Amino acid sequence: MRRCDLHRFGLVALATDMTIEGDAARLMPPGTRLHVTRIAFDNPTTEENLRRTGPRLRAAVDLLVPGIKLRGIGFGCTSASAVLGDSIEALAGGRAPVSTPAGAALRGFHAMGIDRVALMTPYLPATTDLVGDHFEAQGLRVLRRSSMGHADDRDMARLSDAEITEMALASDHPEAQALFMSCTALPALALIDDLEARLGKPVLSANQALFWAMLDQAAVPADGPGALFRCRTW
């Protein structure tokens, strides 16, 4: 494939995210290229600090290979995308369709016919509620909200597989049709297939959902972990 034929995407990541680029490298298929920039982020993950990402988005998007057409742009923060909601498209400047982890999860649940979920996060409970409340405002029933109690996404990125697996299993609800693991800093991608086998239901992570949605919206086929990557909306 010639470089001019590549499907180019952009990603705006938080300055403190230690996980998202590694997950992107695993999920973006041949024939695509991801261009990444970062924005300042002030921990802890309070609503006030999350809202501050909004005014920073446009300048970050403008740094993504200026003058080159992008098929889509991802904003890499689940809790900030829940707080900012529909305003993100305007804040980003309209250069290309914007996908967020929260919006991507909703897109995925809709594609799979899911309306009842359990929510697991590495956050403090108040931040977990920002995501849970956003889901419920969009018509999703959140049957259980579980928080690991961390305030800094750099700490979240250093959680072990065993810690994440234990929390994910404990966060399920018998009536939930799926489990969502929030936070782009959470290193959960490699655990999805095992968790789905153990829980007997779809398991979505923030990064899995984000890159699936970016590719799905652009009608670019891709393979990845979990039931979500077997879904297409086109």
Structure confidence at residue 181 (pLDDT): 98
Pairwise CA distance, residues 197 & 194, whole Å: 5
113: which 2 tokens? Answer: 């016919």
**DSSP structural state of residue 157:** T
**Contact assessment for residue 205 and residue 186, using Cβ atoms and an 8 Å cutoff:** yes
Residue 136 contacts residue 142 (beta carbons within 8 Å): yes
All residue ranges of the chain with pLDDT < 50 are none
Which residues on adjacent β-strands are paired with residue 44?
none
The residues pairing with 205 across neighbouring beta strands, listed in sequence order, are: 181
pTM above 0.75, yes or no: yes
Angle between helices 192-199 and 161-171 (to 10 degrees): 30
Around 150, how many Cα atoms within 13 Å sit in the side-chain half-sphere? Answer: 18
- Helix axis angle, 101-111 relative to 125-137, nearest 10°? 50
**φ, ψ at 103 (rounded to 5°):** -65, -35
Of all helices (H) and strands (E), which one includes residue 26? helix 20-27
Respond yes or no on whether the N-terminal peptide bond of residue 125 is cis (omega within 30° of 0): no
pLDDT of residue 46: 95
What pLDDT is attached to residue 5? 80
Of 3.30.450.40, 3.40.50.12500, 3.10.450.40, 3.30.1330.100, the CATH number of 103-207 is 3.40.50.12500
**CA–CA separation, 104 and 200 (whole Å):** 22
**Residue type at 9 in one-letter notation:** F
CATH 3.40.50.1860 domain position(s) in the chain: 3-100
CATH 3.40.50.12500 positions along the chain are: 103-207
pLDDT of 21 reads 98
In the structure, how many helices (H) and strands (E) does the chain have? Answer: 11, 8
User: Topology of 3-100 in CATH?
Assistant: Rossmann fold (3.40.50)
